[in-house]
Structure formats: structure tokens, C-alpha cells
Chains A and B, each alone.
Chain A
């Protein structure tokens, strides 16, 4: 009896040893496994490691690399892209993957009835590209006008099979084998994944990924420190410092991320703002003075515990391809701020700043409740501006109320928020085009209110319509210069991207572009 028990134990232990399982946690259930309907972070994490794509942007080098497409050509002056698929591709359930599947996926993404977020990136305004299958392995997607970065778009389009299976077959490194809502997901290696390492070993190296659903970040951290989880894909500065202290070397920083924290004034013709305040906010000198009075380095040191970098403009310093290196972070200079204000007719009397008509300079700053770094940044800014005589009233609102104010009612004076961006400036169109719905200081402007806004519009359109990288870069560089010269948005810091990874995980190449930790999941190993 004892011998049988030993045998069973040995068998289970040896089985466990041969089966590698990467473990980490997500903070909520993925809302969908359909790669075309991903909106939440949890679904995106699963999509990335399961969905097969035609091309993949290497997050470390920013190069576009072949995936399901063996090769491709950008033709007709950037209007079209012709993909040639690998021969013998199969989904995880063994069904063949051909250009018909690609066509069906792209057409589904573009179908207005599907309302697919993935399809939005494929459209140009209302124009929809033409999809033409030229053979079982060849497909062409054609636009009416040149589309910059036409091949890169397909990094985000997960090719799916027909049918509406609850756990659909995939063409990426893994497929979802089990889903227990609120508990865990089990991803298993796709037995038909096409990719092999140079030695001919089929990828991915790790057999399975167990993703626990863990809302509480403290418990996630404790489990990581106990060794129950292999990694935390994104971690806050306080937790990062705790990891670095308790497990030296386990905390990983990619340096400044692509994200930005910023504040802006409401420049829309809102009825709720008195005319004299509108005049302050519309004054470039006033905005510059506010920007100049803020100690960004203190926000970095006190708020982010040193895990952030002062921002130099609308594009993060981490974005090597697009950041304009002529721009430098603004060092705090309260004396210069006071001079700018004096030059604009403001007067400082008994520590209180007044405009030329005698109005006390005071404004409210809204930010989202419960976001501790933003609340702290607001308190630091409040203190900095007090030194130049400006009274700031901080108001924390729940996210719904805050969005209602900044997007619809426009009943606010100034706001402090952050942006999670990807590398390409196409991402900035919604924010910087004056007609954009997320045009922070005046959403969906009918026409540009100022000549500099008109110039930004022209530059944004130029970079969005040119296929020449040189032309795009020149336009984006000028846009950044104008954004800093006019400062409709006062950029504060670029928080660092921080993660925690156990040393048993090998092959990790942390990147600033999402998904920063798992972008090369098929190459990761556990030792």
C-alpha cells in the first residue's frame, strides 16, 4: 500500500516538475474572449497572449515583425498592404487558418453592427478599407488614401475562427482552456502555434499560464512575496519599494513610461466660469506662470518616491521615436512665475494674488477620488501655487461625476488627470485635434478657437496622412513645440513603469510599450 502511495506521489511530483506553469493575477475577470471586442485591461492581457496576429511590433526595438503573415508589402503609395500568410497555419483546435479567416475577421471588425474597438483603428474617419482575398494565403487591404503605419495596425487585430464558442480557438501562443469566473483562468500552450526557436523547439516554452482573479492588490503582493505568484505585471511605487526591500532584484523598472500626468484649465465657453476667470485661463502667460511655479521634481520625489520623471511635453521622454529632444522639463522658478504674472497685470498683495480688476486669483482643481498619487500631486501643486499667491481648492470626485464635468457639462475650472498612451502619435489625434472628443480643454470644438490650435490641427492631419516617416516626425516635432509654447495642458510627470518579477522567470525584456512584461510571452522560461 505504502509502495503504491509512493508511486502515485512520485508520478504526481514528476508530472508537476515537467509541466511549467506561469502564475500571476488580474484584478478583474476578463469581460470577453473575443479579440475584436476587448475594452478592459483584463481582456486585453488575455487577448495579447492568446490571439494570433498578422504582424507583431517588437516592443523593445519598435520593429514590425512577421507573425501569421510570413511577408507583406505596402503598395500603391501606402494606400494598401498585401499580406502573404505562412503555409500550414492552424488554430489551437486544429482547424486550418487561411486568408478567408483573416478577411472574415477584418470584415467583422469593420462591421458597424459589431461596434468593435479593434475596428476603430482600421477605419479612417467614415471610410472603410476594401478587403480582397487573392488566394488561400494572400490577402490585400486597400484604403482610398495613404494610411500611415498601415502594417502596424494589424498588431492589434486578433485573427479568430468562425463560430461563437465560449472559449474560442486561437492562433497565438496560448488558448483559454478553463475559465472559472472570479477565481482563475487557465491558459494552455497552443499545440499548433507556428513559431519555433532557432533550435527547432516549438514555442511557447512555458506549458500553461494560471491567471488568478485577485481584486485586492495587497493580497496579490503578499502572494508574490511568498512565491505563489511569479510576477505582478504593474505595481505602484510604494509596493515596488517594499518588493525591492524584501526581495532585492525582484522589482523591475523600465524607466519613464509612455504615460503622462497633467493638468489643464477649462478654455471652453462654459457658463459656469466667470468672465474674469476665463481671461486668466485663456492667457498663455498665466498658464506658463502656473507651470513655472510647480516643482515637478518634488512630485517625482514625494509623490512617486523617485519612480517618475519630470515631463517635458505632450510626448513622454521614453518615446524615443517621437519625443522632440529639443524640449526639456521645466524647472520650478517661482520668481519667474511671479514676473510672468506681474507682466500680465496680476498683483501680489499680502500673499494674495489679484488680477487687474482686483479679483482674488482662486480656482478649483478636480481630480478622481481614491487615486492617491493624483490627490498628493494636487496637494503639492496647491502648496506651490500658494507661494505665488494663487488659492487652489482641491475637489476629489468619483470618476463618473468627473468625466461628466470634463466631457459634457464642462462645469469645472481646472482638472488633474493622466493619460495611458501607446507610442505612435496617431494615439494623440483624439486629444489634440480641436474637433476630438477628448480635446481636454474644449472637447469637440467646432472650429479651432486660436491660430495655434489651427496649426496643431494641420500638423496632426499631416502626420496622420503621410506615409513618409521624415514628414511625420517633422510635423510631430513642431506640434510638441507649439504644445509647450502655448501650454493648454501643463504636463507634470511621466511615471515610471514598474513591475515585480520573480528571478525564476527567464527571458524577460521589460518594455515601456504595453504589455510591458508579457509582450514576448512565448520566449519566457521558468527555471
Chain B
């Protein structure tokens, strides 16, 4: 219970700092102090600066806002799409999810990313990046949800409801959804951190969120240089924050499965 509370407090704090980033951050994420590249952590720059003289602390706050807001939104989109696709029964659904899961979505993502209009504002580009992830990730939750629906269709209460002539939409909304909600919520919790990590992987490939918008993914690219990390351990801050967020989310998932 104590862990759950701590996790909740931590997530609320992270959420608040993300929402209040423009107010809390000492500088803009794109402001370049060209006289102070790679400055060590100190009074003026809490976590130091990057190699273009941008304040790491401000960038971390904005990056948190980007990743913490958009990754759950993408997860919600995936689950929503999965629910829509689950309207198809039987072989069609099975075939669709098999196709969806067998697509090498990383390559598909790179192709789709390349086909987007070039003159997209960085902020819009970030939203599109996560939206694409959300669209690409429907197949996993669809498979799990379809299993639950199958079980439900054979349940005694469902047979009773159908034989009593209750409208299908009412069965779905009033009787089935409370059963499905917990499964959908579990899928959401599993996908949200997965999308944070996916964006980080794309960032490492240089294909995630475009400059100058920060995200946990593109901040993690600095960790590719171990000597830089040795000189400035504050570079580990996005990694530590990411791990703590994942642990906090996991604490909720564990609680849910115990229940």
C-alpha cells in the first residue's frame, strides 16, 4: 500500500511538473547559451547545459511534458482502436490482429514518418509521431480484448441477456463494458511505458521527436557517450526519471493483477 501511495505521489509530481513546465522551467527548451556549452551543473544551470548551450533542466521538464502526456494518449488511442476492431468477430478479427502484429512497424513507422508533410511545426510533428505509434499498436490489445469478449459471449449472464431480448448496444454498454474495462485499463498501463521506450528507441535512431523539441528519447541520446556521462552524471537524469515513472506505473499494474 505504501508503495502504491509513493508511486501515486511521484506520478502526480511528475504530472504537475510536466503541466507547469512553461512556468517552472528557468529557460525555453530551445534557448541556446552559446558561450556556455556543456556547462557543469550549478547555480545558473541546475543540470548543466548540452553541447549547444541549452539548459538541461528546462529541457528535461519540457521533455517530461511531451513524453508523459503523449505516450499515455498514444496508448489510449491503441486501446480505442483495438476496441473498435473487436467489433469484428471470428476469423476476420483473428486475421486482422495476426497481420497487425506481424507488420514490422518500426520500418513502417520510418516510411510513414518520411511521407509526412515536411513543413509541419515541431509541436505538430511530435503529436504525429506519437499518434503514429498509437495507430500502429492496436493489434496487441485487440488480441487480448478479443479473448475476453469470446469468454464473455459464452458466459451464462450473456446468454440470459440475449435470450431476454435486451438490445445489443445495451448489453455492450451496461453489462459487457464493466467486465472489459479492467482488461482495457491493464492494456493501457502496459502500452504507455512501452511507447515511452519506443519513442526513446526512435530518438536513438534520430527518427523520434525532431529538434529542437525535447523528449525523453532525444535526451537519452547523450548517454551514447560514456565519457560524457562520467564527466557529468546529471546526464543520467532523464534515464532515472524514465525508470522511476516505469516503476511507479508498474506498482499500479501489480496492484491491479493482485486484485
Contacts and interface: CB of A to CB of B under 8 A. Distances in A.
B30 A383 contact: yes
Contacts of A380: 32, 52
Interface stretch (A15-23, A96-104, A308-316, A371-379): A371-379
Nearest to B118: A364
Interface stretch (B40-48, B77-85, B161-169, B205-213): B205-213
A293 to B, nearest CB: 14
A375 B225 CA distance: 17
A393 B34 contact: no
A444 interface: no
A78 B53 CA distance: 55
**Secondary structure of the B side of the interface?**
loop
Interface stretch (B12-20, B91-99, B119-127, B249-257): B119-127
A369 B114 CA distance: 11
A395 B32 CA distance: 19
B114 A401 contact: yes
Interface in B39-83: 51-53
Contacts of A301: 34, 37
B206 A371 contact: yes
Contact of A396 (B30, B34, B37, B210): B210
Tier of interface size on chain B: 20 to 34
B53 A302 contact: yes
B1 to A, nearest CB: 44
B210 A238 contact: no
Contacts of B211: 375, 378-379, 382, 394, 396
Which among B32, B111, B114, B125 has the highest number of chain A CB atoms within 10 Å? B114
Nearest to A411: B118
B110 interface: yes
Contacts of A438: none
A369 B119 contact: no
B209 to A, nearest CB: 10
A457 to B, nearest CB: 30
A399 B121 CA distance: 22
Nearest to B110: A398
A267 to B, nearest CB: 16
Interface string A165-206: 000000000000000000000000000000000000000000
B53 A369 contact: no
A298 interface: yes
A394 B110 CA distance: 16
Interface in A381-403: 382-383, 393-398, 401
B151 interface: no
B51 A302 contact: yes
Contacts of A371: 206
A393 B225 contact: no
B100 to A, nearest CB: 23
Contacts of B110: 398, 401
Contacts of B212: 379, 382-383, 394
A413 interface: yes
Contacts of A366: 118
Interface in B174-215: 205-207, 210-212
B226 interface: yes
A398 B155 CA distance: 51
A301 B111 CA distance: 34
Contacts of B120: 364, 393, 395
B37 A302 contact: yes
A523 B253 CA distance: 66
A77 interface: no
A153 to B, nearest CB: 38
Interface in A287-304: 295, 298, 301-303
B154 interface: no
A417 to B, nearest CB: 15
A128 to B, nearest CB: 40
Contacts of A238: 225, 227-228
A398 to B, nearest CB: 6
Nearest to B228: A238
A302 B119 contact: no
Contacts of A155: none
A107 interface: no
Contacts of A344: none
A369 B205 contact: yes
Interface string A354-369: 0000000011101001
Contacts of B121: 393
A362 B119 contact: yes
Contacts of B224: 218
A218 B226 contact: yes
Which among A218, A302, A364, A376 has the highest number of chain B CB atoms within 10 Å? A302
Interface in B98-130: 110-111, 113-114, 118-122, 125
B119 A396 contact: no
A412 interface: yes
A312 B53 CA distance: 26
A370 interface: yes
B52 A393 contact: no
Nearest to B205: A370
Interface string A20-41: 0000000000000000000000
Contact of B206 (A375, A382, A383): A375
A398 B207 contact: yes
A298 B205 contact: no
A398 B119 contact: no
Given A298-B34, A379-B211, A393-B122, 7 more contacts: A370-B205, A376-B51, A379-B52, A395-B125, A395-B210, A396-B210, A401-B114
Interface of A: 218, 238, 242, 295, 298, 301-303, 362-364, 366, 369-372, 375-376, 378-380, 382-383, 393-398, 401, 411-413
The 7 closest A-B pairs by CB, nearest first: A401-B114, A369-B206, A364-B118, A370-B206, A379-B211, A364-B119, A394-B211
Interface of B: 30, 32, 34, 37, 51-53, 110-111, 113-114, 118-122, 125, 205-207, 210-212, 221, 224-228
26 contacts: A218-B224, A238-B228, A298-B34, A301-B37, A302-B37, A366-B118, A369-B205, A369-B206, A369-B207, A370-B205, A372-B221, A379-B211, A379-B212, A382-B212, A393-B121, A393-B122, A393-B210, A394-B210, A395-B118, A395-B120, A396-B211, A398-B114, A398-B207, A401-B111, A401-B114, A411-B118
